[in-house]
Structure 1
Amino acid sequence: MSSYRKVLVTGADGFIGSHLTEALIRSGYEVRAFTMYNSFNTWGWLDQCAEDVCGKFEAFAGDIRDPYGVKEAMKGCDAVLHLAALIAIPYSYHSPDTYVDTNIKGTLNVLQAGRELQVSKIIHTSTSEVYGTARFVPITEEHPLQGQSPYSATKIAADQLALSFYRSFQTPVGIIRPFNTYGPRQSARAVIPTIITQIASGYKQIKLGTIHPTRDFNYVLDTVNGFIAMLESSNSIGEEINIGSNYEISIGDTAKLISKVMNKDIEIVSDETRFRPEKSEVERLWADNSKAERLLGWTPELGGIQGFRQGIEKTVQWFTDQNNLSRYKADQYNI
């Protein structure tokens, strides 16, 4: 464990954030979990957190778009893991203004508060979508940035803001760039939960968008370990670091693998409402993760096709639990 005793996790109520919160607590950290304020007083996935961490974190309900609340949440924290963001690509076509406010202004709020409070480290979350369609593979951190959706454009802007604070003010910022994370609790807007929930709900015709693009899928606990490695390593400040499996697979082959794991015969049906605009579709993602190994000592436990199958098995097991499956609307397209 590093010298950072108390950490703030923004987006702690989300898919990766909830897993990260649990892992940090198990590693001995004191965690303040920044959750999205709502009148139901719900903490997202932290309402269903594991029993061994329940009651062991401090919840702070707020809005990442509010600079005053963000600064208040950060007081007394040694480090910040900033995950709060709007991430659904289709919704960014629908409501790009909210992505500017949340992803760019929200990140500015974190950076400014961190600078003023002199926190010891800020880990800012990027995404492989900033690279757009691969111009070369595997994709290194030197790959050109391409805003192929309003979502990716706002994440590029947020990344550059974070780097500007490091270069202008020596703010201790590191940028983690996860590729396509999957696993328990993921939103059905993502392709793997979309496939699993449709099959688990009894559908034999599985509605998908484009199936030829490839992705580099990383199991959520491997991604979480990447965050903790970023936090604990002195080598991460001022760096952009890919967290991926260094393995690519097409969406179509992913669906076939899931159907094998679930022992179900399926037919893939093209649903045009799920297609991205032609020039917006990211055709290929494949991570070079050698920098993460070199600087952080991080490698995925579930890498390659065998690791991917193991991760899919774990994910299927979680989603096919009726208590979990009932939270999803498999008959509706979630943008």
Structure 2
Amino acid sequence: MKQTRSVVLGCGSYLPERVLTNQDLARIVDTSDEWISDRSGIKTRHIAADGEMTSDLGIAAARAALDHAGIDPQSLDFIILATSTPDNTFPSTATTIQAGLGLTHGFAFDVQAVCSGFAYALATADNFIRAGQGKRGLVIGAETFSRILDWEDRGTCVLFGDGAGAVVLEATQVQDPMRERCIIGSMLFSDGRHKDKLYVDGGPSSTQTVGHLRMQGKEVFRFAVNAISDVVERTLAAHNLRPSDIDWFVPHQANKRILDGTAKKVGIAEEKIVITLDRHGNTSAASIPLALSTAVHDGRIKRGDLVLFEAMGGGFTWGANLVRW
């Protein structure tokens, strides 16, 4: 019996023009290229221009994904945007993107799960499609984290960048979800007891300010490797898969040490990991679709490949998606 599932029709990305190198950062904060590279693996990151907003990045990535899929935006039923850096407290930045694409129908909303945002948004969109509440949708991860950084805090300002990535989903009928192109499954988790380890010290209800990102790096690292390894292992076990069955591992681009530690613990070969961290930095909810788009457009990820996404973010939140490309 056939089942309704979501298939990824196309993907796209956008990076702001301005590139900020480690050497540039060394001129404004007490750091060095060696210090940043050794601790994170990051060499450069992109920074949004003055007046360039999260919605601008999201619209550009959305258009690139729609072009790649060969889809008219008027055929979309919904838009889900993952972001922690919206244009405004409200309305949702997704509705701004909706208007920017010339749409006046369907629905659009934001998902806030910090760096896990894209994994959450993809799972949400997939569930809408499986439930028959939309046949075609756009899932975007877009961030302007440069706007919430404390540029005097070398422990955080060197890690993050701005960017956006997007995918187009469409309902499809499949007989065997494990073998046919579709989103096979997702797993999502959160544990709010860890709020003080990675958060922004501001907000409308608390300080009436935007605030800055604050992080306890060692605590985040320790939790991340264990949580990510666990969700990857659970996802594989749920579908009777081994690490060797995965063709490509597209993780959230947080820290090279976290990526290496997770891959080693789970048993995924290093050559199967898509890494863009060195060029993009940590772009939070945009990092998975940015890395995905890079690997699809350079020819690494091919039709029929089994692809695993994973992410962990403030909250703590974490999750994984398994996709047959």
Q: TM-score, normalised by structure 1?
A: 0.27
Structure with the largest fraction of strand: 2
Higher normalized contact order (CA 8 Å, seq sep 6+, divided by chain length): 2
